[in-house]
Structure 1
C-alpha cells in the first residue's frame, strides 16, 4: 500500500497548496514534489516504485486541474472524481510492484520511540490525515455536484443555510480517524450521531423558513436535507475508508 499512501499524500499536499495560494502553479508542482519527497524519505527507488510514482505524480496534477475547473464552472464533476478513482485504483491494482517502506522514515520511527509502528503504516496514517483536510472536502463537493445537490454559481445554494460545513467537515473526519486509530469506535460513532443532533435545529429552521416564505427560487428544505445527508454520508465514508486503509 506504499504507492497508494504516496498518491494520497501528493494529492493532499497539492490541494492544500492550491487552497492557500491565489496562483495555480503551487498546486500543480506540489504533488510531484511531494512524490519525490516521499520516495526519498521512504526508500522507494526501485523500478516498480518509480513506475507507480510517476503515475501518482501525473494523476495528482490532473486532479488539481480538473478539480479546479469543476469548482470554477460548477460542471463536469465526474471527470475529477474519475481521475481520483482511477489513480487510487491503479495504486492498489499494481501495488505489488512497490517495495516495502524503509529509508530514513524506517530509521526515524525507532529513534522517536515508535519502533512498534511499521513504516508503511506510518506513511499511510500520514496520507489519511492529509486526505481528511482539503481533499476530502473537494471529494464531497464533487459528489454533491454529481448528484445535483449543488446549484450553479451565482444562485442560492443549500449550503447557505448550513454554516461552517467546510470547517466542521475536516474536524469531524479527523476526530473519527483519531478515535478509530485509538480503538475508540464507540466514541467515533457518537461523533457521527452528534452531527445530526447539532444540525437538527438548523434543518428545522430552514423548514419553517421555507414554509413561511413559499419562495421556490431559493433552496427548499428538501434540497437542504439532501445536501446535508449526501454530504454527511460521503464525508463519513471517506473517514471510515481511511481508517480501513490504516488497518490494512
Structure 2
C-alpha cells in the first residue's frame, strides 16, 4: 500500500501546486523534497521514485489549461495501478526508521504508517486531481456528442435556442470556460464534479449584477470549486464510517437542490446529462478512495 500512498500523494500534490502555487517550479521542488524525506525515513525510496515518475507523467497527461491529450485513460490507468498496489502488494512489516517511533492510535486500533500515508495521499488526490478526472470525463462526452454540446452552450439563456444547423451562438463566457471547435464549453476552471462550477460561475443578469454592492462578500463567490472536493471527502468518510443512510440522504439532497436547474433542460436533456455524468464520476472516485483505505486497513 506504500506504493499507492506515494503515487496518490505525488499526483495530488502536483495538481495542488499547479492550481494554487504562484511559482510552480518552487512548488514542484518542495513536493519532491517532501517525498524524498518521507521515502528516506520510511525505507521506501523505490515507491517514492515511482510516485515522482507517475506524478510527472500525470502532469503531462492531464493538463489543467487545455483538453487532456489522452482523454480519460490516464485516470483509469492510475486507478488500476493504485488498486493493484494495495490489493496485491499489501502492507509492509517494516516501515524503516519512522516505523520504530511511529505510534498513532484511533478508536479502531493502531494506525500503521503506511496506512496513514495512503489515507493522506488519497485525501490530497480528492481535492484537485479528482476535479481533472471529472473534467476529462465530461470532455469525453463533448468529443463524442458535438451537436448536443452546441445546444448545451446556450442552456443557461432560456431566450436563446439552438438553430437547426447547430450554429454556435455567441454567449457570455464564464471565467475559466473553454472553447473547442467553435463551441463554448461550460466546464469550470477547476473542472469540479457535476454542474456545480457551471452554476456557481454563470454570470448574473445585468439588473441583478448591478444591484449587488461592490463590497458584498457574496459578489464573485465561486462555491462550486469547493462542492466537488468536499462532496468526495464526505463520501469517503461516510462510507468508511458505514453511515450509509446519511450518505444516501446527502446524495439525494444534492439532486433535489439541482432539480430546478435541471428541469429547465427542455428537449435536449444536456444539462441533466452533464449533472449526472459529473456527479456519478465524482461519487465513484470518492467510493474508490474509501475502498482503497478500507482494503488497506483490513489487509
> Which stretches of structure 1, 4 residues or longer, exceed 4 Å deviation after superposition?
89-94, 96-100, 111-115, 149-152, 158-161
Out of 118, 134, 138, the position equivalent to 2:132 is 138
Structure (1 or 2) with the larger CA radius of gyration: 2
CA contact (8 A) 1:10 1:56 kept: yes
After the TM superposition, which of the residue ranges 13-22 and 79-88 deviates more from structure 2?
A: 79-88
Residue of structure 1 equivalent to 2:9: 9
CA contact (8 A) 1:44 1:98 kept: no
CA contact (8 A) 1:121 1:246 kept: yes
Out of 92, 96, 118, the position equivalent to 1:124 is 118
User: Pairwise mapping of residues 21-36 of structure 1 onto structure 2 (< 5 A)?
Assistant: 21-26=21-26, 28-36=28-36
Pairwise CA distance, 1:180 = 2.4
Residue of structure 2 equivalent to 1:200: 259
Say whether residues 1:162 and 2:191 are aligned partners: no
Residue of structure 2 equivalent to 1:230: 277
Q: Aligned partners of 1:81, 1:59: CA distance in 2, in Å?
A: 11
Contiguous gaps of at least 5 residues in structure 2? 150-176, 188-194, 201-222
Q: Deviations over 1:94-144 (max 9, x none)?
A: 736966435426634348999622322222211221121011111111121
Q: Aligned partners of 2:250, 2:93: CA distance in 1, in Å?
A: 37
After the TM superposition, which of the residue ranges 169-178 and 147-156 deviates more from structure 2?
A: 147-156
Which SS does the other structure have where 1:148 is aligned? helix
Q: Which structure features the higher share of helix residues?
A: 1
Q: Deviations over 1:64-107 (max 9, x none)?
A: 13322xx4332522464366357536745873696643542663
Which SS does the other structure have where 1:109 is aligned? coil
Q: How many residues align?
A: 229
Out of 69, 73, 87, the position equivalent to 2:66 is 73
CA contact (8 A) 2:6 2:47 kept: no
User: Pairwise mapping of residues 161-180 of structure 1 onto structure 2 (< 5 A)?
Assistant: 161-163=198-200, 164-180=223-239
Say whether residues 1:38 and 2:38 are aligned partners: yes
**TM-score normalized by the length of structure 1:** 0.76
Q: CA 1:198/1:148 → structure 2, altered by over 3 Å: closer, same or farther?
A: same
Q: Deviations over 1:149-169 (max 9, x none)?
A: 796823141657532433201
Contiguous gaps of at least 5 residues in structure 1? 212-219
Q: Deviations over 1:42-83 (max 9, x none)?
A: x134xxxx3333222111012113322xx4332522464366
Which SS does the other structure have where 2:178 is aligned? coil
Residue of structure 2 equivalent to 1:53: 48
CA contact (8 A) 2:236 2:289 kept: yes
After the TM superposition, which of the residue ranges 192-201 and 106-115 deviates more from structure 2?
A: 106-115
**TM-score normalized by the length of structure 2:** 0.64
After the TM superposition, which of the residue ranges 158-167 and 14-23 deviates more from structure 2?
A: 158-167
CA contact (8 A) 2:61 2:68 kept: no
Which SS does the other structure have where 2:122 is aligned? helix
